[in-house]
Amino acid sequence: MYKLLKQSGAARRGEFQTVHGTVQTPAFMNVATCAAIKGAVSAYDLQSLRCQVMLCNTYHLHLRPGNSVVREAGGLHKFTGWSGPILTDSGGF
């Protein structure tokens, strides 16, 4: 659920709650192509950096490593090692 905290002109500050945590907006989202953050940064590093949300590309995940690999790992959170909120997109598919 989204909650508007403050507005000034067109700028808005808010938060939305998920079962995996609350995300303050606006937010910087690290992109995890194929469920991996580029630049030798792990999901565990993101937690220490106080990252709020990870963005994963569903089309790339479908191609590699594949749906069955993610499912067998116990889902995307367990596959990535990220316990916070995850946003997924189609990757321009």
Residues for the chain: how many in total? Answer: 93
pLDDT in tens, 57-73: 888 889 999 999 999 99
Are 34 and 40 in contact, with CB atoms under 8 Å apart? no
The yes-or-no verdict on residue 33 having pLDDT over 80 is no
1 vs 10: CA distance, rounded Å: 21
Beta bridge partners of 86: 54
Q: What is the pLDDT of residue 90?
A: 81
Asked if 15 contacts 3 with a C-beta cutoff of 8 angstroms, the reply is: yes
pTM: 0.81
Q: Are residues 54 and 46 in contact, defined by beta-carbon separation less than 8 angstroms? A: yes
